[in-house]
Amino acid sequence: MGIFDFLSGEFIDVIHWTDDTRDTMVWRFEREGHEIKYGAKLTVREGQAAVFVHEGQLADVFTPGLYMLETNNMPILTTLQHWDHGFKSPFKSEVYFVNTTRFANLKWGTKNPIMCRDPEFGPVRLRAYGTYTVKVSDPALFLTEIVGTDGEFTMDEISYQIRNIIVQAFSRIVAGSGIPVLDMAANTADLGKLVAAEISKVVAEYGLTIPEFYIENISLPEAVETAMDKRTSMGIVGNLDNYMKFNAAEAMSAENSAMAASMGAGMGAGLGMSMAQQTQAGPWGARPAAAPAVQTPPPPPVEHVWHIAEQGETKGPYSKAEMGQMAAKGALKRETFVWTPGQDGWLKAEEVRELAQLFTIAPPPPPPGV
């Protein structure tokens, strides 16, 4: 082997890159002294672009294909090297491979709540999260604006900056959209398009594009969601008065069933004792004097509990003793509407016999005109 063959073998003549990391955006082709042989073969695969940087200056950009590195394929580098007056092999240049495929399933989310003015609820705080994709649209611009001289640039190095851009654009668009909170779930697709268009204007300056942007969820604070759940429950219940009457009727039905069962058991026990006495007397013997019937005392009266309606809200239940204390303090008045299980609708306290006596301590107001 001659000295020329030895020297020609020292320089690379095949330049290519295969990526298996799934997150590398830019990779620099490493070669000692960055020496590349004139006439070498450059292979750029689909989803890639090769950018030549010569002595710190951006030179040629190669799209997918197979190239022979000669003067006709490298017009900018030829001008920088002055190869029109004669070339020298090898030449020193850095080759950066840029991944132009989509980087998918990237996460974004609001770190802090977004303050918005809702037409129905007033000021509210919103949180949101979703996914997006990124693609290098201009390899040369991306290399000069973001990568610089980094030999291996990954998606993690720029994802944080992109997330900040997304959150800023999302906050501005949602706050100014005027869409009610309850309607945002039905408009996530339109909101996503607006946010993606706004983001694309900013990332285009980095040589990037956002092909896809998705809003997966927009949520309210937990306390607000709890209040909305209660409101939904009230809507399902419907008329509150009818609902309370229904519950009271069920409770009274259960009490009556228990009382009937107790009375039936007492009557059965009395009948059994009577039959036993007749058996002991015999068919011809004198019957003993009947023992006096044991009278079972009636069950104690059920103490009513009362509900009060004030300013569209229902309070209670309160016992009669508590109602008396409220009447003494003036919290319960004659015209206050009250209700107890079994009562047909709301009545004023002075119209209920059991409560009217609570107001006999002080005389009622004099009639008008006296």
pLDDT at 4: 41
Q: What is the largest CA-CA distance in the chain?
A: 152
pLDDT at 268: 58
Rounded Cα distance between 94 and 90, Å, is 13
pLDDT at 91: 72
CA atoms within 13 A on the CB side of 9: 6
pLDDT at 275: 55
- pLDDT tens across the length of the chain (370 residues): 444 444 444 555 788 999 888 899 999 987 766 677 878 889 999 999 999 888 778 888 999 999 888 766 676 666 666 555 455 667 777 899 999 999 999 999 988 888 888 887 788 888 899 999 999 999 999 998 888 888 899 999 999 999 999 999 988 888 888 888 888 878 888 888 889 888 999 999 999 999 999 999 888 877 777 776 676 666 655 556 666 676 677 677 766 666 666 655 555 555 555 555 555 555 445 555 555 666 777 666 667 788 888 888 888 888 888 888 888 888 888 889 998 887 888 888 888 888 888 887 655 566 776 5
Under a CB-based contact definition with an 8 Å cutoff, are residues 244 and 339 in contact? yes
Tokens of 239: 């008329």
pLDDT at 55: 77
DSSP 329-349: HTSS-TT-EEE-TT-SS-EEG
Q: What is the DSSP letter of 112?
A: S
pLDDT at 3: 40
Find, among 97, 103, 92, the residue nearest to 40 by Cα: 92
Structural domains of the chain, with CATH: 3-99 (no CATH), 103-233 (3.30.479.30), 306-359 (3.30.1490)
Report helix, strand or coil for 31.
coil
To which H or E segment does residue 147 belong? none
Residues near 96 by Cβ (< 8 Å), separated by ≥ 6? 26, 27, 28, 29, 50, 51, 52, 53, 143, 147
pTM over 0.85: no
pLDDT at 6: 41
In one-letter notation, the amino acid at residue 211 is P
